[in-house]
Amino acid sequence: MTFDACWLGGQRLPEVTIHASGALAQTIRAELRQTRRVRHDVEVALCTLGRLEETPLAAWVEQALPTDGLGDEGFVVVRRGNQLVVAAEAGRGLLYGYFYLLRYFEWMTGDFTVVERPAVPVRMLAHWDNLVPHPVMGAVERGYSGGSIFFRGGRVVQDLTRVRAYARLLASIGINAVVINNGNVHAAETRLITDHLADVSRMAAVFREYGIAIYLSVNFAAPIELSDLDTADPLDERVARWWSAAVGRVYDAVPDLGGFVVKADSENRPGPAAYGRHHADGANMLARALAPYKGTVYWRCFVYDCAQDWRDRSTDRARAAYDHFIPLDGLFDDNVVLQVKHGPLDFQVREAMSPLLGELQETRFALELQVTQEYTGQQKDLCYLGPWWREILQFDTSGGGGPTVAERTKAIVAVSNVGDDPNWTGHKLAQSNLYAYGRLAWDPAADPVSLLHEWAAATFAMDDRTRAELVSIMADSWRTYERYTAPLGVGFMVTPGTHYGPSVNGYEYSAWGTYHFADRNGVGVDRTVATGSGFTGQYPEPLASRYENVYSCPDELLLFFHHVPYDHVLQNGRTVLQHIYDTHFQGYEEVESMLTRWKAIADRFDPGTRDNITARLEGQLKNAREWRDQVNTYFYRLSGVPDASGRTIYR
């Protein structure tokens, strides 16, 4: 079995002495046996704090320790002269300290002290892998990198070599939790609980070697599907007993299971009234079954009415999560975490932040992101998401100097972009998104461009000038993608079903919602309190007023919040229509430049990498052309207003 080593292929270390015991210390010893050696005069030691006196820098390390401790995952790195010590309170911290050493050793010069602790306690990747391939979604829902690395033939794969390699990759970037299955398709996925516990236990053991807890997605219909019960009502004592027994069996097999992930409702039920208090009842029933084992329920807040009438402008999908969950704030048990998508729609290339991220006050919540590029090019188009995620994590939830999203959340969850493709992510450069997600979940203030340099230096054998050029090609690719796709916060101009490529009206008259309301006079969704759906009123002040006012609303979100005429002048000085034309031409030209610049350095990479990236960029150029021409033509035909620069728009 051969597969890409990603960013763990080329690093080297000198001899390392380990003063620690336990399972994770054994993992580090195994890691060292497969790490390439480099001759160096620095003497390196890894130790737990209980054995600090066995190292030459004990006093220096003790001086560096935070007064409130390192916690289970923190570590200290101290170098003085030719001595270097990595110290941690526990095995996880030591493992992360080892990978820190592996990442930076060749750049470690002179005396220094570093203290590292993760900003967010739970850093999770969720797999939408189907135990039984779905007839539409296949082996991995919204997966663009081949099949599942976990499941084949209706059961867990026998050979876990690749799973172990994956666990190693994740630990190296600080991921400490993985959801292994998809609860997004059908209740039969919950058969993992009853039919495959021995296999789940085998997989959990592999992830455990790298300090990673596994979680299972479950479906609320499971008691009906998998037993003789005629209900899944969480208030029915029979249902509670069924789940309690199922949870007991799971923890017998996997004593350190993190817990369950539940897709709360989503497309299945119309309107808040149909579910209401049921969210809290359902989550709490599962939470109480998990509580004796210290398990947690992650309750996904992706809810909305999927039977909308496009004629009815009073219905707004963006409002749904807030309308469902704010009335329930404070009613959830302590081991329930509400899992909130960063935006109120569905991972669009640009949308407003979910107001739940600022307004939930008495319930723990997790931020949900998407590493798999469902709406951002599907790992066919280059789209480095690090800058976007940093914007999300650093978003001021009050709008007036209050806490950021990263400061408020205790967990970050993202849908994985990994499959059984030999390079894991389909597009070789999409590995950068997996890397950046883990590093930003650990440190939300990290610079995304610096992370790109880190990733490129660890992934490719190349000189500094080549690395700088590759990073330059990739760094702004998310904004390039935004320019040639959906303008000013408009979403869902994608091909229905696949979500790849343009279809300007693809969802406009669907039951899933209406997203741009373009007519001959203007474009955009009126979500104001004064004249629209009232969505702006879900934000606190001063955010609510900022979004409500067409002149203070940020340009990039204008059409998300307002319906405006085509000649409305943006803060950047251009009209809305001219901005649409300009950005779509600019986005295509930027992809053209990316391809040209890549071809100038492509011969410096191995043939497999060169061919993979070249083919993807050539395909991206075709996609960008379709987006440019279809969107520009659509708005020209509606408005009748030509491009001020006289460029070609097909009529």
CB 264 within 8 A of CB 279: yes
pLDDT for residue 425? 98
pLDDT along the chain (651 residues), means of 10: 90 95 97 92 97 97 97 98 97 98 94 98 97 85 97 94 98 98 73 86 98 94 87 93 96 98 63 59 96 97 83 89 95 98 96 98 98 98 98 97 97 98 98 98 98 97 97 98 96 96 95 90 97 97 98 98 98 97 98 98 98 98 98 98 98 91
Nearest to 555 by CA among 647, 611, 487, 610: 487
pLDDT for residue 647? 98
Instruction: Say which of 346, 368, 582, 590 is annotated catalytic.
Output: 346
Give the span between the Cα atoms of 369 and 606, in whole angstroms. Answer: 32
Give the span between the Cα atoms of 95 and 510, in whole angstroms. Answer: 49
CB 235 within 8 A of CB 279: no
Mark whether 592 is an active-site residue: no
Per the listing, tokens 């947690």 go with: 296
CB 576 within 8 A of CB 558: yes
Mark whether 209 is an active-site residue: no
Mark whether 43 is an active-site residue: no
The model carries a pTM of: 0.97
CB 99 within 8 A of CB 7: no
- The residue type of 242 is W
* Cα-based torsion angle of the residue sequence 191, 192, 193, 197 in order, rounded to the nearest 10 degrees: 130
- Degrees to nearest 5, angle at CA 573 with 566 and 487: 50
Token duo for residue 51: 């054995």
pLDDT for residue 192? 75
- CA 346 → CA 310, 326, 343, 350, 443, distances in Å? 18, 19, 7, 10, 25
pLDDT for residue 85? 98
- CA 295 → CA 39, 194, 258, 306, 535, distances in Å? 46, 18, 5, 32, 35
Within 10 Å of residue 403's Cβ, how many Cβ atoms? 13
**Residue by residue, what is the 3-state secondary structure of 203-245?**
HHHHHHCCCCEEEEEECCCHHHHHCCCCCCCCCCHHHHHHHHH
Instruction: Say which of 89, 374, 420, 469 is annotated catalytic.
Output: 374
How does DSSP classify residue 364? Answer: -
pLDDT for residue 291? 98
CB 84 within 8 A of CB 121: no
Instruction: Say which of 225, 267, 447, 629 is annotated catalytic.
Output: 267
User: Can you list the domains of the chain with their CATH numbers?
Assistant: 6-116 (3.30.379.10), 122-459 (3.20.20.80), 482-525+563-639 (3.90.1330.10)
Give the span between the Cα atoms of 15 and 33, in whole angstroms. Answer: 10
Token duo for residue 264: 């709360």
